[in-house]
């Protein structure tokens, strides 16, 4: 399934405050990595390797001096001067990858090293994207605060520690899936898992604990929409894409992301975990390129019937019930603590 991102779509995303964008897996631009994309510069400051780092060497992009950092699974090319980001990013990416590979089901390691570009500012980021992607970068030209993954390569720029790490967690899933899965996931599943992987809490020493429920941005929007009666039916949710939400003024993209976030939690935890194994099987089939072969189609109805033994109407009723349950009083307190609203103690009230 392909998406077409137009400048008007991205302008609406910027007005909505949306930070997280990506190219759909089926529409990714193919980008080949090189061992030394832009060459080194002897003047670049070296970062002391930590236990996560395997190497650190000078690197530059144009006249911007930076570093090339390598971990077990990543190569990070960065000109960012914010050490609170660059010092933590290598370990953060490895922690995130562990989360991607273990939280829902045991998934394979990516094929080869994953390249991440972390630029100091938006002009650098835009020039690099244009250099790497050519005309493929035009879709992202108006993105003011964000990042994206394309062809298994991630492109970020420094927008402050909180938002930069939030984008890296979300887009990092897309990057991993683009490199690892032989068949792209359906859009609703791809975006749902990416939002599921955003949840985290930062420890007192700057390290991160990845907790899928610890995502107040998604929960608060979900609760607001549920209270206001703005929830989309599952039939609608599974038939649209992020590109459509940015193009259609009647659909709020933040509602879309909140609902696909809740959908993955439902498939992972709802109905007393009845769908967890099926969700894992669906993800594993994507790594092998077997979704269409098993379901006969990539349409939502076929996938729900084949993997979850539900019609779309049955799934919608159960999903809506799950959403109503998690947004009840006490739900937000659980999310603040990074725990499941389903398992919260009775009587705990929302702050």
Residue 249: which pLDDT band, with cuts at 50, 70 and 90? confident
Question: Does one domain contain both 30 and 122?
Answer: yes
Question: Does one domain contain both 175 and 281?
Answer: no
Question: Does one domain contain both 132 and 36?
Answer: yes
Q: Looking at residues 28-41, what average pLDDT do you find?
A: 32
Look at residues 154, 180, 206 and tell me which one is the last residue of a structural domain.
180
Judge whether 210 lies within some domain.
no
Judge whether 202 lies within some domain.
no
Question: Does one domain contain both 156 and 231?
Answer: no
DSSP 253: H
DSSP 42: T
Question: Does one domain contain both 309 and 176?
Answer: no
Number of domains in the chain: 2
Judge whether 48 lies within some domain.
yes
Judge whether 205 lies within some domain.
no
Judge whether 245 lies within some domain.
yes
Question: Does one domain contain both 21 and 152?
Answer: yes
Judge whether 275 lies within some domain.
yes
**pLDDT number for residue 244:** 84
pLDDT surpasses 50 at 48: no
**pLDDT number for residue 51:** 62
Question: Does one domain contain both 75 and 174?
Answer: yes
- Could you report the per-residue pLDDT of 189-218, keeping only the tens digit for each? 999 999 999 999 988 777 799 999 999 999
Q: Looking at residues 61-86, what average pLDDT do you find?
A: 96
Question: Does one domain contain both 15 and 135?
Answer: yes
Question: Does one domain contain both 226 and 154?
Answer: no
Question: Does one domain contain both 98 and 236?
Answer: no
Can you tell me the distance from the alpha carbon of 190 to that of 174, in angstroms, rounded to the nearest whole number? 7
Alpha helices in the chain (DSSP H): 7-16, 83-86, 89-102, 122-133, 161-180, 187-196, 216-228, 234-237, 242-247, 253-273, 276-288, 291-295, 300-308, 312-326, 331-336
Q: Looking at residues 256-281, what average pLDDT do you find?
A: 98
**pLDDT number for residue 344:** 52
Look at residues 180, 207, 229 and tell me which one is the last residue of a structural domain.
180
Residues in the chain: 351
Judge whether 297 lies within some domain.
yes
Question: Does one domain contain both 274 and 141?
Answer: no
pLDDT surpasses 60 at 130: yes
Residue 264: which pLDDT band, with cuts at 50, 70 and 90? very high
**pLDDT number for residue 200:** 95
Can you tell me the distance from the alpha carbon of 92 to that of 95, in angstroms, rounded to the nearest whole number? 5
Q: What domain range includes position 27?
A: 7-180
Question: Does one domain contain both 20 and 141?
Answer: yes
- Could you report the per-residue pLDDT of 169-188, keeping only the tens digit for each? 999 999 999 999 999 999 99
Judge whether 169 lies within some domain.
yes
pTM for this predicted structure:
0.85
- Could you report the per-residue pLDDT of 303-351, keeping only the tens digit for each? 999 999 999 999 999 999 999 999 999 999 999 999 999 975 444 443 4
């Amino acid at each position: 399934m392909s998406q077409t991102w137009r400048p008007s779509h991205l302008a609406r995303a910027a007005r909505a405050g949306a930070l997280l964008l990506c190219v759909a897996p089926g529409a990714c631009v193919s980008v080949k990595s090189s061992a030394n994309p832009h060459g080194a510069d002897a003047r670049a400051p070296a970062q002391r390797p930590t236990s996560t780092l395997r190497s650190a060497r000078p690197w530059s992009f144009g006249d911007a001096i930076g570093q090339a950092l390598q971990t077990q699974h990543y190569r990070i090319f960065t000109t960012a001067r914010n050490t609170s980001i660059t010092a933590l990013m290598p370990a953060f990416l490895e922690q995130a990858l562990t989360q991607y590979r273990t939280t829902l089901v045991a998934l394979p390691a990516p094929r080869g090293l994953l390249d991440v570009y972390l630029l100091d500012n938006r002009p650098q980021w835009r020039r690099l994207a244009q250099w790497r992607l050519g005309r493929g970068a035009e879709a992202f030209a108006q993105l003011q605060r964000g990042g994206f993954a394309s062809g298994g390569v991630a492109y970020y720029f420094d927008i402050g520690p909180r938002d930069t790490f939030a984008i890296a967690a979300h887009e990092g899933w897309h990057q991993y899936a683009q490199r690892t899965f032989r068949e792209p996931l359906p859009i609703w599943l791809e975006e749902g898992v990416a939002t599921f992987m955003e949840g985290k809490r930062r420890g007192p020493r700057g390290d991160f604990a990845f907790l899928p429920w610890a995502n107040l941005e998604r929960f608060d929007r979900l609760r607001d929409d549920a209270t206001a009666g703005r929830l989309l039916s599952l039939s609608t949710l599974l038939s649209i894409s992020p590109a459509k939400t940015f193009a259609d003024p009647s659909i709020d993209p933040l509602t879309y992301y909140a609902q696909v976030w809740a959908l993955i939690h439902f498939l992972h935890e709802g109905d007393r975990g009845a769908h967890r194994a099926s969700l894992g099987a669906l993800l594993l089939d994507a790594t092998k390129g077997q979704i269409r072969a098993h379901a006969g189609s990539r349409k939502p109805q076929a996938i729900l019937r084949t993997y979850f033994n539900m019609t779309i109407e049955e799934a919608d009723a159960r999903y809506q019930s799950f959403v109503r349950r998690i947004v009840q009083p006490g739900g937000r307190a659980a999310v603040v603590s990074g725990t499941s609203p389903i398992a919260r103690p009775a009587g705990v009230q929302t702050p």
